[in-house]
Amino acid sequence: MKLLFYDTKSYDRASFDEAGKRYPDIAIDYLKTDLAPRTASLAQGYDAVCAFVNSDVGTETVKALHEFGVKVILMRCAGFNNVDVEAAGRYGIPVLRVPGYSPEAVAEHAMALALGVNRRLHKAYVKVRENDFSLSGLMGFNFYQKTAGIIGTGKIGAAMAKICRGFGMRVLAYDLYENPSLKEFITYVSLEELLSESDLISLHCPLLENTYHLVNKDTIAKMKDGVILVNTSRGALVKTEDLIDGIRAHKFFGVGLDVYEEETPNVFEDRSEQILEHSITARLLSFPNVMITSHQGFFTREALAAIAETTFENAKAWEKGETTGNEA
C-alpha cells in the first residue's frame, strides 16, 4: 500500500517512521505542502492520502483525489469538519480518523490554560524577565471549591472533568448524551444553568451545525461575571467578535484558547503586517487577560505515537475490508 503524507512536520515524520517499522507493507512518502485542490494531483499513483485538521479536503479536493486514483483518506486527527464526507461517499472513498489518541493530553492543556490565565503566568513570565518582581496585575483566585462547567463529556471532556474534580471543584456538565462513568462526581444540567453557575467553562464538543458559534453574545450574557473560558476543541465554537466584545465589557476574568476561527489558513503562518493587523486572532492577543497557544493541546509524545499507530491500523483495516469504528 502506498500512502502520501501531506503537511509533514519533523515530529510527524519521526512518529510515523517509528510506528511504520511495525507496518512494512505500508510505504510512505512525505510532503511539506498541505492537501488542497491544487496539490491533490501529487497523489496520483498512491492508494491513500494522510491529511490533518487544517487541510482543505472539500468537494474540489475529494473530486481531484478520486480522479487521480486515491482510494482512502486517512485523517491523523479526530476532527473531520474540513472534509466533504458526502462527496467522498459518492466517489466511494472512505474517510478514517483518529477519534481518541490521547484525551488526557488535551485535557491537561486545557487546565494549563485555565491556570495560566487565572494566575496570569504569561504576564508574570514577561515581568520577571524584565527584572520586575512586583505582583501588580497578577492576582488570581482559588479553583478549590469553585464550579467548573464542562461542555461536552466525551473522552476529553471526561478527562477534564476528572482533573477539575481533583482540584476540589464542583463539576457541572452539559451534553446531549450523558457519560455514565462520570455520574458519581459530576452533575448534568441545562446549558443555561451551566453558563450561569460556572467559574470556569471549558469547551470539549465537536464542531457541528448545532454547536457552531455556541459561545456568542447571547450565551456570553448568561455567564457569570468574572468567568474563565477555555477552548481546546474547535475555533468556530466561539464567535470571536462577540468574545472580543465580552472581553472589552470585562465579562471574563480570563480566556485561554488553543484553537481559533482563523486556523485555516493559520494566520500566524503569514507574518505580513496587513494580515496581522486585520486578524481577529491578533486582536485577541492585545488583551492582557487572554492566553493563546498554537493548537498544541494534542502535542505530547504519547499522543503522537497513538495517532501514528491508529492511522496505520486504519489503513491496514481498510486494506483488509474491515471496519474500525473510526469512519467519519
Provide mean pLDDT across the span 3-25.
Answer: 97
pTM of the model: 0.88
- State whether 128 and 251 are in the same domain: yes
Instruction: Return the CATH number at 93.
Output: 3.40.50.720
- State whether 154 and 129 are in the same domain: yes
Residue 326 lies in a domain: no
**Residue 271 predicted with pLDDT over 60:** no
The percentage of the chain sitting over the pLDDT mark of 90, rounded to a whole number, equals 88
pLDDT digits (tens, 9 = 90+) for 112-132: 999 999 999 999 999 999 999
Catalytic residue among 197, 295, 309, 313: 295
- State whether 108 and 70 are in the same domain: no
- State whether 45 and 149 are in the same domain: no
Annotated active-site residue 122? The verdict is: no
pLDDT grade for 74, boundaries at 50, 70 and 90? very high
Provide mean pLDDT across the span 28-38.
Answer: 97
Three-state SS sequence of the chain: CEEEECCCCHHHHHHHHHHHCCCCCCEEEECCCCCCCCCHHHHCCCCEEEECCCCCECHHHHHHHHHCCCCEEEECCCCCCCECHHHHHHCCCCEECCCCCCHHHHHHHHHHHHHHHHCCHHHHHHHHHCCCCCCCCCCCCCCCCCEEEEECCCHHHHHHHHHHHHCCCEEEEECCCCCHHHCCCCEECCHHHHHHHCCEEEECCCCCCCCCCCECHHHHHHCCCCEEEEECCCHHHECHHHHHHHHHCCCEEEEEECCCHHHCCCHHHCCCHHHHHHCHHHHHCCCCCEEECCCCCCCCHHHHHHHHHHHHHHHHHHHHCCCCCCEC
| 88 against 276, higher pLDDT | 88
Annotated active-site residue 234? The verdict is: yes
Looking at residue 281, what is its pLDDT? 79
Looking at residue 278, what is its pLDDT? 54
- State whether 135 and 259 are in the same domain: yes
Provide mean pLDDT across the span 25-47.
Answer: 97
- State whether 88 and 106 are in the same domain: no
- State whether 278 and 313 are in the same domain: no
- State whether 29 and 127 are in the same domain: no
Annotated active-site residue 209? The verdict is: no
- State whether 276 and 150 are in the same domain: yes
The percentage of the chain sitting over the pLDDT mark of 70, rounded to a whole number, equals 95
pLDDT digits (tens, 9 = 90+) for 281-296: 788 989 999 999 999 9
- State whether 145 and 58 are in the same domain: no
pLDDT grade for 166, boundaries at 50, 70 and 90? very high
Provide mean pLDDT across the span 233-252.
Answer: 96
Catalytic residue among 234, 261, 262, 313: 234
- State whether 123 and 62 are in the same domain: no
pLDDT digits (tens, 9 = 90+) for 171-183: 999 999 999 999 9
Residue 143 lies in a domain: yes
- State whether 110 and 135 are in the same domain: yes
**Residue 3 belongs to domain spanning:** 1-99+299-318
Q: How many domains does the chain fold into?
A: 2
Residue 327 lies in a domain: no
